[in-house]
């Protein structure tokens, strides 16, 4: 009986270990997807979270919005990037478990970089590829730094 209980416990621990390892692998994959604009599923990100007050950025951010930047795009970009920030945080939670303080800080900086993308976009004159260009200027370096940790 004790031998069977021991074998069940070993099997359960092995299963838990695999599950944790699998969730860490998924988290790394999700983080890696944020490296490039083209690898993020923006259509899905846009629909993940309902944000009824999706233009509630801070006064600091509001002060950086160019006066002639189209308002309908500011709210769309804010919603998209806040959804991406929330999704990135949720998907990288397994990476935070037992991680070093430096790595956790880098994950936090990577999430905050999505706010930087928004500010970079809305602080200049609007053009068609502005979202893509600003995203590609900021996010690849932040994600790369996470993988270097």
Q: How many domains does the chain have?
A: 1
62 lies in some domain: yes
Task: Report long-range pairs for 35-41 (Cβ below 8 Å, ≥24 apart).
Answer: 35/139, 35/140, 35/143, 35/144, 36/136, 36/139, 36/140, 37/131, 37/132, 37/135, 37/136, 37/139, 40/84
15 lies in some domain: no
73 lies in some domain: yes
17 lies in some domain: no
79 lies in some domain: yes
Mean pLDDT score across all residues of the chain: 85
Assess whether pLDDT exceeds 60 at residue 24. Answer: yes
Residue 115 pLDDT class (50, 70, 90 cuts): very high
Q: Name the residue range of residue 78's domain.
A: 23-148
Assess whether pLDDT exceeds 70 at residue 1. Answer: no
Assess whether pLDDT exceeds 90 at residue 110. Answer: yes
What lies within 8 Å, CB to CB, of 86 at 6+ separation is 48, 49
18 lies in some domain: no
Between residues 13 and 29, the one the model is more confident about: 29
Calculate mean pLDDT across residues 38-54: 86
The pTM (predicted TM-score) of the whole model is 0.80
6 lies in some domain: no
Report CA torsion sign: 36, 37, 43, 49: positive
Between residues 66 and 52, the one the model is more confident about: 66
């Amino acid at each position: 009986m004790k031998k069977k209980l021991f074998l069940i416990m070993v099997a359960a621990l092995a299963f838990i270990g695999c599950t944790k390892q699998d969730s860490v692998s998924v988290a790394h994959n999700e983080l890696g997807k944020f490296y490039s604009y083209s690898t993020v599923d923006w259509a899905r990100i846009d629909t993940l979270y309902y944000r009824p007050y999706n233009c509630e950025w801070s006064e600091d951010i509001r002060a950086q919005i160019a006066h002639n930047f189209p308002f309908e795009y500011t709210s769309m970009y804010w919603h998209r990037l806040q959804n991406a920030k929330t999704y990135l945080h949720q998907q990288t939670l397994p990476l935070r478990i037992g991680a070093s303080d430096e790595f956790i800080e880098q994950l936090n900086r990577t999430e905050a970089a999505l706010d930087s993308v928004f500010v970079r976009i809305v602080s200049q004159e609007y053009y068609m590829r502005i979202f893509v260009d600003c995203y590609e200027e900021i996010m690849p370096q932040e994600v790369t730094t996470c993988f270097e940790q």
